[in-house]
Structure formats: C-alpha cells, structure tokens
Amino acid sequence: MRKKLFIIPVILVSVFFLFIQNCSPANQSQAGKPGEYPTKHPDRIVATWNQDPATSFNVTWRTNSSVTEGKAMIALAKDAPKFHLKAKSVEAKVQKLKADRVGEDVKANYHTVTFKDLKPNTMYAYKVGANDEWSEWFQIKTACQQEKPFNFIYLGDAQTDILSHWSRDIRAAFSKASDAAFIVHAGDLVNHAHRNQEWGEWNLAGGFIQSMIPSIAVPGNHEYWRYTDNRDDPRLLSIHWQKQFEYPRNSPEGLEETAYYIDYQGMRIIALNSNRKIEEQSKWLEKILKDNPNRWTVTTHHHPIYSSGEGRNNEELRAAWEPIYSKYGVDLVMQGHDHTYARGRTKNIKKGVNVRDQGTGTVYVNSVSGSKMYNMRDTKWDPMGGVMKRAAENTQLYQTISVSHDTLKFRAYTASGELYDSFDIVQQDGHLANKIIENPVDVEERTFENTIKY
C-alpha cells in the first residue's frame, strides 16, 4: 500500500512538468480568432516577385516562434501524382516578428524562400514547411521572357471588414479571372498598420489565391502608424509588410519594398509609395520610364492623382507625377484611397499628341474593394484638370485587365459580378497618344441614393 502511495505523487509531478512544458510559449498556440495566432503549421502563404518573373518567384509564410528553420520543396508540376519525387529542397530565410514593440502579444517567425533558375513559361508546384508540418502543394506558372498576352487583377482598398466583406470581392475576382498573372493591391490592405488580427483576416480572405497568384502591393496611409501611443513619434511602415512581401530592392533609398518595378511579358509595372519621399521618387520614376524597353507601362500607388472622395485633393502628388506620366506616355494608373470608383483622363492634352482625338492620354482609375465607402466629390475632377468618364459610390468593385500587343482591355465589375465599366486602350502608330475606346455599359451610375440606404 505504501509503495502505491509513493508512485501517485511521482506521476502527479511528471504530469505537472509535462503540462508546464506543453504550455510554454514555444509549444502552445495562442488562442484567438481564426488566422490570428500562429502554430507550427505554415500559414499566411503569399507569393511575390523580387527578381525576373520568367525565372523565379518568392514565397513567404508564418509559423510560431518554436519553428526556427523553414524549407520549401519545388518540382515541375507534372500530371502524375508522383511529381513530388523529383522535388528540390530550398532553405528559407527566417525573421522574427518583433510584435512587442507595437504592443501586440504574438510570437511568430516569418519564412521566405526565393525559387531561382526556373524555366520560363513553365508550371511549378511547391509546398512550404519543416519537419512534419507542411502546407499543401500549390502551383505557379513562370512568365514568358518575351511579350505575350496575359491578364491581371486590380483591387482598391480592402481595409475594413476584411474577412467578412472583402473576401467575397477577391474571390469573385478570382472566379472571373482565375488565369490572372498577378494581383495589384493599391494600398490600405488593412485598417490598422500593425494589428496582427487584421493581417490574419487579409490572408484568410485571400486564402490559396495569394499562394498561387503573386501579389503586387503598395502601402497606403493605413499601412503606416506609430509604434507607441506617443503622438510625437513618427508613423512607421507596418511591422508585417516587409516580413510577408518580398519585392525588388530597386527603389530610391529608404523606400525598399514599398517602391519598385517589375517587367512582365512586355509590360513595366511600377509600384510607388505615395506616403513618402515624393521628390526622390519623381527622379527615380523619370529614370526608369526613360530607360524602359517595354511596350506597355502601368503604375500603381495609393493616393490618387485626381481625387474622387469629398474633401480630398492631392495637389503635391499631381504636380509631381502627372507631368511625368504625360511626358512618357504611361498607359494606366491604378489607385485607391478615396473609397469610390472613378475613371477618366487628364483634360489638358499636351503638345505633340493627337489633339483631334479627345479620348487620348493616360487613364486614371480610383477603386475600392472593401466595405468602407465615401461620398463622391460634387465637382468630380473638374477643378483639378481631369475629365471623369465613369463613377460609382457605395459599391465594392474589382477590375480585370487583359493585355495584348496593342490593346489593353479594362473591365470593372461589382462584387456580384455585374459589368460596371468597360473600355479599351489602343496604342496608335506614329507616337500618337493612346486611343480610348469606350464600351458603354447599360447600367445606371451607382450612388448612395440608388443603392442600399443606411
């Protein structure tokens, strides 16, 4: 009897220490909303580019802090299920998320791999993880090295109600253009720059889409905030941005991975940071436009050249970048920030273009994909020098763009899939400005008055 009594305390002590071990920060997942806190299993898997899209792509993912090493496997995506037997292993770069400096209680590591020396125009399968914790296999097709038709998706601000409302918009966009080469996010992906929960919602809402279609994102004003409650502290880029987005470091100093450019099958995509260092970016922008071998050029930044939201007017930005866009014939500018839809061009057609065609010049678009909505300016773009051709209030939208040799087809859809705006940009011979072909849509302009009233 005494022997049994001695054994019981030993068992209790062993159970106690086992409980303590399993509940330690390195072994226990924090409780929270879905996607908020990390586990040993990879989550927040995002594909991007920081090198040539024809021969490489990047993947980032997150785990809890107990996973200090990461790996990825990559193979040619053959139709036989044993394709994985020829997969190659790639070591990941691991970065600790220093969330405590912004008052967030999340212990996470971000992992990044760069798949290099790939074959152009080829489908690859990859998975990420370590030890016994691996993601499923995803597929990405590398770009062609030469000009070839392709499609992409453009989304304005997600920002609020990201999982509940924005999710339907990005998923509707994917349903419409599942063959998209990439997705442009024009800033304000979240509402609070450093809030882990909101980045969790953004990743859950996009889900596997963002693991298979690379993201080209720019920071909005909501991607910048102070680390502390001290109002004298500077607003700094989200602690999550450079951990989960791996972009080219070909920007002006101090704007790494927030301003950059990527060349894709005959198009130069220029991402600009409209929150910081406008003058420095202007010089850089002119340089990369002057030395641009691509037939098409598009840009994306958060704050619009021509504001459509009531009480907004970005005069400094317009004075800095609009003349450069006009000088070098930028084809399309994709923006956000104003939580309305607006599409048009500059009113004053510059010397040297075909002034007989009033549909020429750079096309500017503002759009919104999330739930936060503003009122349209009563005067639209008139005082600022722009001509607005199509507008919408109180409407979630996504845009699909199809690019061929001499025509860019732009289509804007509502979240329910209704075509709302449609036009083509056609490049003309003889260095004339682009011709804009309007494709009238038989849908009344959407306003707060004729949509759902609150």
Give the burial string for 177-188 (b: 16+ CB within 10 Å, else e): beebbbbbbbbb
CA 268, CA 289: separation in Å to the nearest integer? 9
Q: What's the confidence (pLDDT) of residue 13?
A: 44
Share of residues in the chain with pLDDT > 90 (%): 85
Q: What are phi and psi of 308, to 5 degrees?
A: -110, -15
CA 142, CA 88: separation in Å to the nearest integer? 17
Task: Give the H/E segment covering residue 386.
Answer: strand 386-392
Render pLDDT for 209-252 as a digit per residue (tens, 0 to 9): 999 999 999 999 999 999 999 999 999 999 999 999 999 999 99
Render pLDDT for 107-119 as a digit per residue (tens, 0 to 9): 999 999 999 999 9
Which pLDDT band, with edges at 50, 70 and 90, does 168 fall under?
very high
Q: Which amino acid, residue 371? A: S
The domain covering 43-141 belongs, at the CATH homologous superfamily level, to Purple acid phosphatase-like, N-terminal (2.60.40.380)
Per DSSP (E only), the strands in 218-355 are 224-225, 236-237, 260-264, 267-271, 296-300, 332-335, 341-346
Which pTM does this prediction carry? 0.92
Q: Where in the chain is the domain with CATH 3.60.21.10?
A: 150-438
Evaluate whether 238 touches 193 at the Cβ level (below 8 Å): yes
Render pLDDT for 40-92 as a digit per residue (tens, 0 to 9): 999 999 999 999 999 999 999 999 999 999 999 999 999 999 999 999 999 99
| Residues forming beta bridges with residue 260, ordered by sequence position | 271
CA 77, CA 382: separation in Å to the nearest integer? 52
* Fold of the CATH domain 150-438: Purple Acid Phosphatase; chain A, domain 2 (3.60.21)
CA angle at 271 for the pair 121 and 358, rounded to the nearest 5°: 95
Q: What number of other Cβ atoms are within 10 A of residue 7's Cβ?
A: 10
Q: Where in the chain is the domain with CATH 2.60.40.380?
A: 43-141
Q: What's the confidence (pLDDT) of residue 145?
A: 96
DSSP 110: E
